[in-house]
A and B are shown apart, each in its own frame.
Chain A
Amino acid sequence: GAGVSQSPRYKVTKRGQDVALRCDPISGHVSLYWYRQALGQGPEFLTYFNYEAQQDKSGLPNDRFSAERPEGSISTLTIQRTEQRDSAMYRCASSLVASRSSGANVLTFGAGSRLTVL
C-alpha cells in the first residue's frame, strides 16, 4: 500500500477482554516495528520484525502482550486480558531495509490505534 495502515483506529474494550491490533506495512518494507505512545511521551519500543522473524521483543511489558508477522507482511499485536494501564496509542512503523543494515531504522509510521480499556 501507499502508507502504513493500522486498524482499528479506535478500540474501546472492557477490562479482561483480548484485543488484536493490525498493521499493514508499506509494500516491500522488510522491517516492522510496534511502539506504544502515552500522551506527552515519546514512542516506547515494544518489538520489531525483520521479514517474519521477531528480532527483539524486549519492550513487551509482560506475557499478556504478543506479536506475530507470519508471512513477513501484515503484523498483529495481541493484548490478552486487557487492563486499564494498557490504554494508549499503539503505533506501527515499517522500514524498507532490515534493521542493522545500512540505511536501516528510517521508519514510516502509521496513524496508530488508540486503545481505551474501561
Chain B
Amino acid sequence: QKEVEQNSGPLSVPEGAIASLNCTYSDRVSQSFFWYRQYSGKSPELIMSIYSNGDKEDGRFTAQLNKASQYVSLLIRDSQPSDSATYLCAVGGGQGGKLIFGQGTELSVKP
C-alpha cells in the first residue's frame, strides 16, 4: 500500500464547475497535509495547507481533512482553464518527519 494515494485521472470538468480531488494516507500519526499544484514542466507550488479536522477555505479553494478516515480532499469552485494542472497531495509530520507526496491527479478544465 502506498503511503499517499490519489486517483491519477485525468479529471475533466467544464469551466465554472466544481472540481473535487481526493487523497488517502496510511500513516495515522500524520499531522500536516498539503495540496501542491504543478503545471506541466514546472515545479510544484503550495496552494493549501491544513492541520486540523474540518474545512479550510482560501478563495476558490477548500481543503477538507478527516483524520479518522485518513482522508484529505481539495475542492476548486468556479474552475477555470488556468486551473488545469496536476494536483499533488502531500502528507507530513508522521513518525519520520518527512513529507510524502502522492502520484498526483491531472485536472483538465474545459472552456
Q: Contact size class for B?
A: 20 to 34
Stretch touching chain A among B11-19, B62-70, B75-83, B89-97: B89-97
Question: Contacts A109-B43, A111-B43; is A42 near B97 (CB within 8 Å)?
Answer: no
A51 to chain B, nearest CB (A): 14
Q: Is the CB of A42 within 8 A of B88?
A: yes
A2 to chain B, nearest CB (A): 14
Question: Contacts A104-B32, A104-B92, A105-B92; is A43 near B44 (CB within 8 Å)?
Answer: yes
Closest to B2 in A: A42
Q: Tell me if A65 is interfacial: C-beta within 8 Å of chain B.
A: no
Q: Contact size class for A?
A: 20 to 34
B39 to chain A, nearest CB (A): 12
Q: Tell me if B49 is interfacial: C-beta within 8 Å of chain A.
A: yes
Q: Could you say which of B6, B46, B99 contacts A33, with CB atoms under 8 Å apart?
A: B99
Question: Contacts A105-B32, A107-B46, A111-B43; is A58 near B92 (CB within 8 Å)?
Answer: no
Q: Is the CB of B44 within 8 A of A109?
A: yes
Q: Is the CB of A105 within 8 A of B34?
A: yes
Q: Is the CB of B96 within 8 A of A56?
A: yes
Q: Is the CB of A48 within 8 A of B104?
A: no
The CA of A32 and the CA of B7, in the complex, are separated in Å by 28
A21 to chain B, nearest CB (A): 15
Q: Tell me if A55 is interfacial: C-beta within 8 Å of chain B.
A: yes
Q: Could you say which of B93, B97, B103 contacts A56, with CB atoms under 8 Å apart?
A: B97
A-B contact pairs, 14 of them (CB 8 A): A33-B98, A35-B101, A42-B103, A43-B88, A45-B99, A45-B100, A58-B96, A91-B43, A99-B92, A105-B32, A105-B90, A105-B99, A109-B43, A109-B45
Instruction: List 10 other contacts, CB 8 Å, given A41-B103, A59-B98, A108-B46.
Output: A42-B4, A45-B98, A48-B98, A55-B98, A104-B32, A105-B92, A105-B93, A106-B34, A107-B44, A112-B43
A positions within 8 Å CB-CB of B: 33, 35, 40-45, 48, 55-56, 58-59, 91, 99-100, 104-112
B positions within 8 Å CB-CB of A: 4, 6, 8, 32, 34, 43-46, 49, 88, 90, 92-93, 96-104
